[in-house]
Each structure stands twice: as C-alpha cells, then as structure tokens.
Amino acid sequence: MAAELHVELVAADRSVWSGEATLVVARTTSGDIGVMPGHQPLLGVLESGPVTIRTSDGGTVVAAVHGGFVSFADNKLSLLAEIAELSDEIDVQRVERELERAKAEGDASAERRADVRLRAVSAR
Amino acid sequence: MGAQLRVYKRRIRSVTATKKITKAMEMIAASRVVKAQRKVAASAPYATELTRAVTAVGTGSNTKHPLTTEAESATRSAVLLLTSDRGLAGAFNSNAIKAAELLTARLEAEGKEVDTYIVGRRGLAHYNFRERKVVESWSGFTDEPTYADAKKVAAPLIEAIETATEDGGVDELHIVYTEFVSMMTQNAVDGRLLPLRLEEVAEEAPKGEILPLYEFEPSAEDVLDALLPRYVESRIYNALLQSAASKHAATRRAMKSATDNAGDLITTLSRLANAARQAEITQEISEIVGGSAALADATAGSDK
C-alpha cells in the first residue's frame, strides 16, 4: 500500500472534505508547496487559490480556498480557510457573471474571489 | 346572556388566541435551537484546528506580537457585549447586560477607561436609553450569525487593539456573551479575549499531545500575524453562535411558560364563567318561582 496522509479541509462554518490522499499541492505566500506523506511538520499561510488533492484511490479533488492556513504533522494535513469550496460545488456560469459584475464595478476583492473559483474549476 | 358571563367568554377567547401564538413561537424557537446547535458543532473543527495552530506557533517560537503581549499597565479596555435583536426571551438580554455592567464596574474600579461595543438591538437600546456612550454597534444578524458577520465585528476591535493607547487604541478586549450549556441552562459569561494568554490556549488543546517542531512558511512572525486575527474572529464567531443558540433556548422556555400560564388562566376563567352561568340560571329560577308565587297570592286574594 502506498503511503497516505489524512487530509481535513475545513471552512469556518463547516467541514468541506476529509479523506486519505497521496499528494496535496497548495499555494503559500512564499510559493507553491507539495506535501506528501512523511513531510516534515509544517505550518504555512495560504494564498487564495486552488488546492489540489490527489486522493489515494487515484482521483483528484480541487478546492477553491480563500485565504487560510495549512498545517501538517503526524501524517495529518489540515487546510483551514474562511471560505472553501470544492470545484464540483462551483457554478461556472454564476461565477462568470460575478466576474463580469466585479469587473464592471471595479470591486477588486470580488474579482479575485471569482478568479480563484474559475481557476479551481479549470484545474479539475 | 348576562354581562358578567359575556365578559368571561370574551376573555377566554382572547387568552386562547394568545395561547395559540405563544405555542407556535415555542415550537419555532425549539426548531431554531436545534439548528443553532448544529451550527455551533459545525464550527468546532475550524476552531479546534486554529487553536492547535496558535498553540504550535506560541510554544514553538519566541515571537512577540501586539496581540499576545500584555501592556505593563493597561489603561483602556474594550468590552464587546453580545445581546439579541428581539426580546420575548425571558431574562436573556438583561442577564447579559448585567454581566457587562458588572465587568465595566470592575474594570473602572481598576482605573481603566472602558469602551463599549454592542451586538444586538436590545443591548444598544438599553445603553442608549441611559445615554451611555457606545463606540460601535451591529445588529440584524443575531438570530443566524454568519462568519462574515463575525469578521465585521472583529475588524474594528482588532484595529483598536493594534492602535497605540495614546491614539485612542485599547490595551485589552473583553467579551460578554451567553454560553449555551444545555437546553435548560444558559449562563452569561465574560472573558478576556486579548491579549491572548498562550498558556490558556495551550490548555484548551487536547492533553498529552506533544506538538512537533514546525517548519514555518514563510516565517513564524508572518504566520502569527495572519493567525491571530483569524483566531479572534473564530472566537467571536463561536460566541455569536452560542449567544444565538442561548437566545432561542431562552425564547423557547419563556414561551413555554407563557403557554402554560395561558392554559391555567383558561381553566380558571372557564370555572368562573361556569359559576356565573349557574348563578344566572339560579337567579332566573328564583325569579320565576317568586313571580308565580306572587301571582298565585294575588289571584288567591281576589277570590275572597
């Protein structure tokens, strides 16, 4: 059996995803980081962006994460985010509409949020 | 129907209508408590992980941060009071307000200036009526608070604590909210949120767990910088959720006793109405009997 690590993806108000994985790729403030089983204990600040989780059954889970933290110890990885959505939950058309509106209104943070969601969908 | 009886009947009708309303409110509150409790439970994983992370940075590095260092002599404090927007919840709001006033008095006795921040229309109305100064207040979300609401509340508080005391900032932040113990018990509690005592946070983390030496990305200071405001937000979020659950539980209890009292009142009024009806019948009978006796006497007299 390949080595596995346990992943918990939690948002402020709910637990978004949890399961076993072989590789987790996330973007911290100092660059992309890939965590595999047996990584050294790590605590990092996440950038808004897609997080890719390769599950142990060969599948891929992509989530849009808006700020937060990644912490890894004892083969357990926690991804904490104020807002986190799985790419399957994202409604592309709605996000595109949001992006249009944000651009029109010059709302930078809304534009960034929509952009992160779209990137998560396209990374799927 | 006699006037007395009509009055009783009318009162019974009105109390029955009130009872129906309070019964409905009780059931609505009961379902909301369950929902609010579920939200408290759903927010737990995030809070636990965040506490673990704060403990890890706090114990794993010697970083100093304005949110964790105690001012040598604190002169200004902020008190955040969580109340509800609506009443009809028994002593819920007055208990929370009383706890806040006790805390304010205690802080003032220690020679500190107190800034008050309020969540909920009830608390704000109480302070406005007494013409006390409130720095900032929020309302409209106390029934179902979201994380965005908690962020909105936390932002000016974190800003105030990061500002130097001379420029109108504060040294400490206290929070007063109603802790949800069970369906029957809710306590108004106060606690100091900031500066953070890292030892206390460490005690909250699971016992007997040795935290590994973390590698910080990008650095321990930056992680702490990003982590602490989130920690404060999550604590405020948790307090808001507990406060909402407590409010619904208090409403449920108040409405249950209102329904019970209405039931008692209906029983009493029905008995009185019955007695009044009986008295009316008795009076009518005696009037008829008396009348016919008088008639009989009169005809007996005219025969002679």
A40 at the B interface (CB within 8 A)? yes
B211 at the A interface (CB within 8 A)? yes
Greater pLDDT, A53 or B70: A53
Interface touch A69/B226, C-beta < 8 Å: yes
Question: B76 with B130, same domain?
Answer: yes
Structural domain range at position B273: 3-26+257-294
* Beta-strand pair A5-11/B186-194: unpaired
Tens-place pLDDT, residues A63-92: 888 888 888 888 888 888 888 888 877 777
Residue by residue, DSSP assigns A5-35 as EEEEEEETTEEEEEEEEEEEEEEETTEEEEE
Shortest Cα distance from A63 to chain B (angstroms)?
Answer: 17
Q: What domain count does chain B have?
A: 2
Interface of B with A in 123-152 (CB under 8 A): 146-147, 150-151
pTM of the model: 0.83
Within 8 A of B144 by CB-CB distance, chain A residues are none
Q: How many CB pairs under 8 A join A and B?
A: 89
Tens-place pLDDT, residues B101-118: 999 999 999 888 888 999
**What are A67's two structure tokens?**
């700020």
Domain boundaries, chain A: 5-86, 90-122
Mean pLDDT of chain B: 86
B155 at the A interface (CB within 8 A)? no
As a whole number, mean pLDDT of residues B72-84 equals 86
Shortest Cα distance from A34 to chain B (angstroms)?
Answer: 13
CATH number belonging to domain A5-86: 2.60.15.10
DSSP 8-state assignment for residue B67: T
Question: B131 with B270, same domain?
Answer: no
Greater pLDDT, B38 or B57: B38
Interface touch B216/A41, C-beta < 8 Å: no
Question: B56 with B140, same domain?
Answer: yes
Chain A: residue whose CA lies nearest to B39: A13
A89 at the B interface (CB within 8 A)? no
pLDDT tier for residue B203 given thresholds of 50, 70 and 90:
low
d(CA B90, CA B86): 11
Within 8 A of A6 by CB-CB distance, chain B residues are none
Question: B94 with B73, same domain?
Answer: yes
Is B236 part of any domain?
Answer: yes
State ipTM: 0.78
Question: B265 with B169, same domain?
Answer: no
What is the per-residue pLDDT for A57?
A: 85
At position B298, the amino acid (one-letter code) is A
**What are B251's two structure tokens?**
């409403």
What is the per-residue pLDDT for B25?
A: 94
